[in-house]
Amino acid sequence: YLPLKNKHVLVTAAGQGIGRASAIAFARAGATVVATDINTEALATLDGEAGITTRQLDVLKDDAVKAVVGETGPFDVLFNCAGVVHGGTIMDMADKDLDFALDLNVRAMIRTIRAVLPAMLEKGDGSIINMASVASSIKGVPNRFAYTVTKAAVIGLTKSVAADYVTQGIRCNAICPGTVESPSLQDRMRAQGDYDAARAAFIARQPMGRLGTPEEIADLAVYIAGATYTSGQAFAIDGGWTI
């Protein structure tokens, strides 16, 4: 069963972590995938994967987004996965960090959606998936001020796009993971000094007693990409964190 047969999918931040696992899962579900990332070395790890072509793309650059979509589209599915985590409270946060988080976590999604939406509207069909987090309007998490602000904005922009285009065949949903094993999570655990203690603390906040895997999130992305009767939703996938 290939739920995404004949679907053409654009993924951002597909070089590692959830984006990479999703690009592979979309392709295995029958889609043709354009996997993009700012990091070409990371993208090269997808070389030879059936159904996937890779393109370097910095989602902070509007012209680059337009060029890649123009050259490799039109798309049936867009998965906006790029995002960055800053630690700290409202008092710790540097304004430049908030500006950067807003640009990468929120504005980048606006850039890619604006680039793919006209062709989706022409076709009368399209599925847009935005990577949020349960650390957002769903749940306050200590020391994640800029992150939580921007991921809440992702849910808002998701609902807004969903509301505007629901009668025109466009679905727009958000994925809200808990804590997922990924290269950047590894970096953050190492950066805390005591890796084992940091890892134990991340696991402790997940009631299922373990971190999620990128493949588990990718399965949800495949489901949403092909789902035809849901829009404007924030799908939590969080090891029971928000039970």
| Residues of the shown chain interacting with ligand NAD in the complex, contacts defined by CB under 6 A | 12-13, 15-19, 37-39, 42, 57-60, 81-83, 85, 104, 131, 133, 177, 179-180, 182-185, 214
Q: How far is the CB of 166 from ligand NAD (least distance, A)?
A: 24
C-alpha 61/C-alpha 79 separation (Å) is 17
Nearer to ligand NAD, 77 or 185 (CB): 185
Q: How far is the CB of 5 from ligand NAD (least distance, A)?
A: 26
C-alpha 219/C-alpha 217 separation (Å) is 5
Q: How far is the CB of 231 from ligand NAD (least distance, A)?
A: 20
Q: Is 111 left (phi over 0), alpha (psi -120 to 50) or beta?
A: alpha
Q: How far is the CB of 81 from ligand NAD (least distance, A)?
A: 5
C-alpha 35/C-alpha 149 separation (Å) is 27
Look at the block and give the residue holding tokens 């304004």: 95
Nearer to ligand NAD, 59 or 170 (CB): 59
Q: Where are the alpha helices (DSSP H) in the chain?
A: 17-28, 40-44, 62-72, 95-101, 108-123, 145-165, 183-191, 195-204, 214-226
DSSP state of 156: H
| Sign of the CA dihedral with 207 first, then 208, 213, and 218 last | negative
C-alpha 63/C-alpha 66 separation (Å) is 5
Active site (annotated) includes residue 229 = no
> Which residue has the CB atom at the shortest distance from ligand NAD?
83
Nearer to ligand NAD, 18 or 113 (CB): 18
Nearer to ligand NAD, 5 or 205 (CB): 205
Tell me which residues are annotated as active site.
147
